[in-house]
Amino acid sequence: MGGLDWRDLAFLVSGGLALVGIAFVASRVLRSLRHGFSIRLQLFFAIALTSVLCTGLFGLFLFDEVTARITDLLDERGIVGGTAEVVRDFGPRLSIIAVLLGAAAAFSAFLLGRGVAQPLERLTHAADVIAHGQRHAVLPAPQGREVRRLTAAFESMRRALEDRHAIEQFVADLSHELKNPVSAIRAACEVLIDEGAADDEAARGRFLRRIDEASTRLEVLLHDLLALSRLEARGIVGAGEMVQLDDVVRAAIAAHAGKLESRRLTTKTRLEALRVRGSERWLRRAIDNLVSNAARYAPDGSAVEIDLASDDRFAVIKVRDHGPGVAPQIRARIFERFVTDRADTGGTGLGLAIVRSVAEHHGGDIGLEDPEGGGARFVLRVRIS
C-alpha cells in the first residue's frame, strides 16, 4: 500500500474538522429549539448561507472549464481511472474550500455577534442585578447608536418606576412606622386629660416622659426617612470630590466618644490612609450609622473594632461588635427599610438601609459577616475612583 500524499491527508483533516463543526452547530441548533436562537447563531447561518450561495454562483461561471477538465481526464485514463483521478484531484480542494467557508462564516459571526450581542447581554445582566435589589447598579456604557438609545430608554424607564415606587413605599412606610409613637402620645394625653392623671405629680411626670420619648422617636424617624427618600430619589450631590476616608472614620468615632465611654466600650482601629471620590457628607453618615449600630449592640465593657483597608479597586470599611449577632430570620432583609430586631427599641430600622443606598451610590456594596468569636461584622465597600 502506498503512503498518503498531501491530498489524502488534506481530505481527511478537512473532513474531520467539518464533522466537528457540523456536530457543534447541530448541538447549538438543538439547544436553540428550546431556548430560542441567539443572535450569534442567526448571524452564522446568514453568513454561511450567503457564502455557499456566492460560491455556487461563482462555480457556475467555471462550470464549462471544470467539465472540459473532467472530459480530458476521462479520455486520457479511461472511465474508471479517470473518475478516481477526478475525485482525487478535486475532492481535497473542495473539502478545504468547504471548511474554510465554514470557518470564515463562524469567525465573521463571532465578530459581528460580539459587537451586536455583547452590549445587549451586558444590559440584560444589569437589568437582572437591578431586579434582585441593587436598584442603583451602574448600566454598562452603550456601544452603537441603537444600543445607546435602548440604554437611555431603559434608564428613563427605571427612573420613572423608581420615582413611582419611592412615593408608594414612602407613604406605606411612613403610615406604618408613625402608628406606634402617635398611638403612645395619644394614649398618654388621654390619661392625662380624661383620667385626671395631670393632678398626680408622679403620674404626670411618667406620662410626660412617655410623650417626650415618643416625640423624640418621631423626630429621628422622620429625619432618617426623609434623608433616605431624598438620597434614593435625587442621588448624591457633590459626589465627585476627593475624600480622605480615614479622616472621616476618625471623625465618626470621635462623634460617638461620649456614647462609647458611657458604656465603657473601647475602639480598636486599623486605618489605612485612603482617598476616594464621593460625598464626604454621605460617607460620614454611613460610617456614623455603622458605628452607632455597633455601639448599640456591643456588650458593656467590650470592644468595637473598625478597620479600613484597600481591596483591589475598593476601600473596605469593617465595623465589628461582640454582641449577640443578627437574628437568622432577618439576615436576608437586614438592609431593607424598617427591618430591625424587635428587642431593639432605640433604632428606627433605617440606618442600614441608608448605608446600603450610600454604598450603591458610591459604586460599592454593604455586607454582613459572622466573625469567629461571635458578634456581627458589617463590611462597607466604596469604589476608590
Q: pLDDT tens digit string along 223-238?
A: 777 777 777 766 776 5
Residue 303 lies in a domain: yes
Whether 63 and 125 share a structural domain:
yes
Whether 112 and 168 share a structural domain:
no
Taking the C-alpha atoms of residue 318 and residue 370, their distance in angstroms, rounded to an integer, is: 12
Gyration radius from the chain CA atoms? 36
Q: pLDDT tens digit string along 300-339?
A: 999 999 999 998 789 999 999 998 888 888 888 888 877 7
Q: How far is CA 96 from the centre of its chain?
A: 46
Residues 230 and 262: beta-carbon distance below 8 Å: no
Contacts of 233 (CB under 8 A, 6+ apart): 162, 163, 166
Least confident among 43-52, 192-201, 226-235, 243-252: 43-52
Question: What value does the mean pLDDT take over residues 127-142?
Answer: 65
| Whole-number pLDDT of residue 381 | 95
Nine-digit cell at 12? Answer: 481527511
Nine-digit cell at 344? Answer: 431593639
Question: What value does the mean pLDDT take over residues 47-62?
Answer: 64
Taking the C-alpha atoms of residue 168 and residue 166, their distance in angstroms, rounded to an integer, is: 6
Higher local confidence (pLDDT), 46 or 205: 205
Per DSSP bridges, beta strands 275-278 and 303-311 are unpaired
| Domain of 350, in residue numbers | 241-383
Scanning the structure block, which residue is given the C-alpha cell 448599640? 296
Portion of the chain with pLDDT greater than 90, in percent: 20
Count up the domains in the chain and report the number.
Answer: 3
Nine-digit cell at 24? Answer: 457543534
Residue 154 lies in a domain: no
Residue 139 lies in a domain: no
Whether 230 and 267 share a structural domain:
no
Residues 23 and 104: beta-carbon distance below 8 Å: no
| Whole-number pLDDT of residue 77 | 56
Q: pLDDT tens digit string along 90-117?
A: 555 666 666 666 667 667 666 666 666 6
Q: pLDDT tens digit string along 159-218?
A: 766 666 666 666 666 676 677 778 878 887 887 777 666 777 777 788 888 888 878 878
| Whole-number pLDDT of residue 245 | 94
Whether 230 and 251 share a structural domain:
no
Closest to 222 in 3D by CA, of 184, 290, 183, 174? 174
pTM > 0.85: yes or no: no
Whether 227 and 249 share a structural domain:
no
Taking the C-alpha atoms of residue 120 and residue 104, their distance in angstroms, rounded to an integer, is: 24
Q: pLDDT tens digit string along 342-383?
A: 455 556 678 888 899 899 888 899 999 988 888 899 999 999
Question: What value does the mean pLDDT take over residues 41-53?
Answer: 68
Residue 34 lies in a domain: yes
Whether 126 and 230 share a structural domain:
no
Least confident among 2-11, 102-111, 265-274, 346-355: 2-11
Give me the CATH number covering residue 192.
1.10.287.130
Give me the CATH number covering residue 318.
3.30.565.10
Averaged pLDDT of the chain: 75
